[in-house]
Structure 1
């Protein structure tokens, strides 16, 4: 018997949570957005009633009001969404321990064992109705033999859909679709594929492996396998304990070009990233900056360092160095900083180099004194430092995976 994987995807999550808390909003076009008076006034998500009027994610609030004057704009309430997310995942875990959250409003379930006793469709319907009846929230569920197909299936019918997608159905159901419709293919990758005359998922499935590897590296071969419906990834509950990166970005109230404004923004972003790294006791060896200019064109630049960093001053210094290499003086609307390839600080062993050996040389006399004291009074009498309990970092946004801290507390 093959595996049975569910992908549970909450429908219009933030808007649905608001409607659950305030039933008067049901049936009305609503949208969640930042400050409408500033550039942060971008639609984060909207109800299906608003979508029917043409409102979509990333649309400017003012534009949304033009096409749907009756739309109700609400500010994000992330603590409320995190509570709803916890409740949803609690329901999923009541069926199996093999639950892998991938964002605040979606997750995978491996129900292979449960499916030996109950039909997967019966289980999916029960989960969907429990989430709806207990939390007043709609969701769609994809059922498939692997994660990729389950994710693809959950997108096929919204809201409140349940879709089964079998591997043998891939040529019929997926191959005719444009390559941009494939999970894992973004606009940039789609354009590169189209330049290679790969327009559909079927084209990708039948593309030359050498060409894909040359153009995209290992990712190209992974995409080809997925186009054939092949995905060997396990549903991993422990993934919530893995933080691969910590980042922060901000959309600016107005386009900026002055270096002083840019420095202030990077300083603020570096502080937030440093706070989150400190709270998680992490450091990272790769830093990436993101720039979105006034024409909505994105630019990224990364650098891998010899030694991991976590302090604000180091993050800021590296970010500014990268920025000065990539910025072409086009007005900026968004800036972001991310530290990736993160590890626990305890696991990081700083490598000596020609740049930092002097620091250790200065500390050598201190180590000699410690050795003398330990010989006289015993080992451990003097410690270099004491690890203090880290202050918790409360995220004001759920776009980071800080909401996973809630799920860890439940286990």
Structure 2
């Protein structure tokens, strides 16, 4: 019986990505405790390793970070630059990797299974990492192993700006001495339960029975037991999803009313932003299309910080329209397109008030799902 080839998974992670971009923009920040986030009411979305030594971490209120390290430098954030660099790294990986998944704005999984027939996968990945560093000047780490979990955990151990391969068959040996909260998905609450059970290292988990773990953690206990042996079956998902999402409207009568045209732009944008959120995606580029009665068609696009929020996309759509529109000329068709799509997780650290904004849009989308997309809309969309 033919056996499946040994899986070879690499995980890339840009080190302190936002801060690294800020240092490229301002080299004077290098070697200093720096974090991205508002100085008063904001939240830390990224911090330098120098800042981490003071206990600063992502998700911490900026005010708390400054209390821990008064000399820390708070940077507001250049989100357009982050999107640009993320796309740059994505394009480099896409040009080389046979199969890859963009897991977040700064994180990638590569499936190199079968490559060992033709190349040394480790050396190939080292070369790719060096290419990314040479072209972008960004520090980046990678891990390699038999599955996504092992590769990601190897990356975390290789940081900052390094790499680590976990040899096949050595997964449990690699995991054994690591603290239990090194396993992806083990948060503070689970960590507390495990410590109360006398479990401190990953090896301690493997010494328990599945039944013991299920008693304390439910179904998550069985999954955790499997992970303690390095077992993980999640696949690298090919980037085959739609490259863009769009909506357009051809009017029964040509339109010159600017108020109507603005309202229609808002409606179209709300529609595709809603669809984007339903697909769990964010977009990094927006375009507007105008067609006139003589079928002359023009379009213009702009890069935007990765987002799925109406209120961030609509102003760009209006600006593009005004750049394109021939004042007073009747319009036959209007269209809006969002492209450069990525998984929604990449957005998690781009808003200082991310939880509040996500809750707002979830409430809006819930109403639309229950009563129809047209039942709830902005006043400006008519």
Give TM-score, length-normalised by structure 1. Answer: 0.57
Could you list the per-position Cα deviations for residues 12-34 of structure 1 after superposition, in whole angstroms to 9, with x for gaps in the alignment? 00000111233333333321012
| Deviation of 1:283 (Å) | 9.0
In structure 2, distance between residues paired with 1:240 and 1:83: 20
Q: Which has the higher contact order (CA 8 A, sep 6+)?
A: 2
CA contact (8 A) 2:214 2:222 kept: yes
Could you list the per-position Cα deviations for residues 321-372 of structure 1 after superposition, in whole angstroms to 9, with x for gaps in the alignment? xxxxxxxxxxxxx7562859x99x9xx8x8xxxxx9xxxxxxxxxxxxxxxx
Residue of structure 1 aligned with 2:274, choices 269, 272, 278: 278
- Structure 2 CA distance for partners of 1:133 and 1:217, relative to 1, 3 Å: same
- Structure 2 CA distance for partners of 1:162 and 1:65, relative to 1, 3 Å: same
Q: CA RMSD in A?
A: 3.4
In structure 1, distance between residues paired with 2:212 and 2:241: 35
In structure 1, distance between residues paired with 2:240 and 2:362: 18
* Corresponding residue pairs, total: 266
In structure 2, distance between residues paired with 1:239 and 1:186: 31
What does 1:164-179 align with in structure 2 at a 5 Å threshold? 164-179=165-180
- Structure 2 CA distance for partners of 1:240 and 1:99, relative to 1, 3 Å: same
CA contact (8 A) 2:175 2:230 kept: no
In structure 2, distance between residues paired with 1:276 and 1:64: 38
Give TM-score, length-normalised by structure 2. Answer: 0.61
| Deviation of 1:146 (Å) | 0.7
Q: Give the equivalent residue in structure 2 for 1:204.
A: 205
What does 1:8-407 align with in structure 2 at a 5 Å threshold? 8-34=12-38, 36-38=39-41, 40=42, 42-238=43-239, 278-280=274-276, 282=278, 337=359, 339=362
In structure 2, distance between residues paired with 1:13 and 1:238: 22
CA contact (8 A) 1:31 1:72 kept: yes
- Structure 2 CA distance for partners of 1:132 and 1:281, relative to 1, 3 Å: closer
CA contact (8 A) 1:20 1:135 kept: no
| Deviation of 1:60 (Å) | 4.0
In structure 2, distance between residues paired with 1:59 and 1:7: 26
In structure 2, distance between residues paired with 1:339 and 1:65: 32
Q: Secondary structure at the match of 2:169?
A: helix
Q: Give the equivalent residue in structure 2 for 1:405.
A: none
| Deviation of 1:187 (Å) | 1.0
In structure 1, distance between residues paired with 2:190 and 2:131: 38
